[in-house]
Amino acid sequence: MFIDYVKIKIKSGDGGNGCVSFRREKFVPRGGPNGGDGGKGGDVIFKGNSNLNTLIDLRYNRLYKGGRGTHGQGGDKTGKYGKDIIINVPVGSVIKDFETNEILGEVLKDEEEVIILKGGRGGLGNTHFKTSTHQSPRYAQTGEKGIEKDVVIELKLIADVGLVGFPNAGKSTLISKISAAKPKIADYPFTTLTPNLGIVKYREYDSFVVADIPGIIEGASDGKGLGLKFLRHIERTSILLFMIDAVNVDFEESDLLSEYKVLKNELKNFNKNLLDKPAIICFTKCDAISYDTKLRIKKLKTKIEKIMISSVTGENLDLLKDLLWKKLEELKNEE
């Protein structure tokens, strides 16, 4: 089951208390203070794991606690640190404060660790409170309490190319043809209910990652359809491939780009920064359209590059991969 949003409670460990103790050795009847410090509480750490692609494991365990630091002991012995709690999450996870929606941290790489809550400090033993006028302090510091917080973890897929289009635009068919991914494909809306990632091999040794996002409909940014649930996954892609069903435009004599304009508007309403990403318009199913419609698409003037493909016949799929790779290389050079 693909789960990309969960709410959990996390708590860092309490610090141990400082110790009140005095030297009581033979021949040292009035030894000074030797109380040790309490141990620090355990941190709450989120760690990236490239083998995970869902947050389902967090769905059934809603409380994660760091270990408590042990108390200090006599003989200036510091208490043991509390054990850190490490929460494994998929790469691309964002951790937010549930109350304020503030981003507390992001995990973007495999094995990357992000400390979200630090454990409480251990209390100081009475050794630290000895002065020239107060030789025998009979008090120590209590350990600092850990922090408790409700957090939300959102998963945003990390991919080079994001496929954006209405249901039945041919996104799943394309990703099945150019990669090893095998999404469910059928001729009805919302076949794709979860995002799919596909690794596209390019030439001899190169590759890039394509994300198939469930179909967006008009009003998706307001919560209609499935779009709002998955629009966040587009935020982490480098390039947007707007996929337009050419069979539909064959019957729309007025505006070949009407679907593109709707999709663009939905992305703008969700996050206007998405429109700053490099983009390509891709007309799909060109094997099933008339010659006149192909001519109209070729003559169409657009601010961004456009291409016609057929995932069924394979027409222009290699050209599409060349175009995507070129865009990705341009982005790398800009960095």
CA distance 285 to 283: 7
Judge whether 76 and 125 are in contact, CB under 8 Å: yes
**Structural domain harbouring 180:** 159-334
Last residue of a domain, one of 155, 171, 205: 155
**Same structural domain, 96 and 40:** yes
Judge whether 274 and 240 are in contact, CB under 8 Å: yes
CA angle, 48 then 49 then 54, to 5°: 100
**Same structural domain, 110 and 147:** yes
Last residue of a domain, one of 155, 180, 213: 155
Judge whether 184 and 191 are in contact, CB under 8 Å: yes
Give me the CATH number covering residue 170.
Answer: 3.40.50.300
Last residue of a domain, one of 92, 126, 155: 155
**Same structural domain, 256 and 108:** no
Residue 58, number of CB atoms within 10 A of its CB: 19
**Same structural domain, 47 and 64:** yes
CA distance 213 to 221: 14
Residue 325, number of CB atoms within 10 A of its CB: 18
Running DSSP on this structure, what letter comes out for residue 235? Answer: G
CA distance 320 to 178: 10
**H or E element that contains 208:** strand 206-212
Give me the CATH number covering residue 112.
Answer: 2.70.210.12
Distances (CA, A) of 98 to 10, 94, 328: 11, 12, 35
**Same structural domain, 89 and 190:** no
**Same structural domain, 172 and 129:** no
**Same structural domain, 147 and 217:** no
CA angle, 196 then 198 then 204, to 5°: 175
**Model confidence pLDDT, tens digit, residues 239-284:** 999 999 888 876 655 578 888 888 888 888 888 898 899 999 999 9
**Same structural domain, 5 and 82:** yes
Digits of tens for pLDDT over the chain (335 positions)? 567 789 999 999 999 999 999 987 777 667 789 999 999 999 999 999 988 878 888 888 889 999 999 999 998 999 999 999 999 999 889 999 999 999 999 999 999 999 999 999 999 999 999 988 888 899 999 999 999 999 999 888 778 998 888 877 888 888 888 886 554 444 544 444 466 778 888 887 888 888 887 766 655 445 444 545 667 778 888 999 999 988 887 665 557 888 888 888 888 888 889 889 999 999 999 998 888 889 988 888 888 999 999 998 999 999 999 999 999 998 888 76
**Same structural domain, 74 and 109:** yes
Domain count, the chain: 2
Cα-Cα end-to-end distance for the chain: 36
Judge whether 216 and 231 are in contact, CB under 8 Å: yes
CA angle, 273 then 277 then 280, to 5°: 135
Place of tokens 């009581």: 24
**Same structural domain, 190 and 266:** yes
**Same structural domain, 3 and 112:** yes
Q: Six-digit token pair at 57?
A: 């494991």
**Amino acid letter, 145:** K
**Same structural domain, 285 and 170:** yes
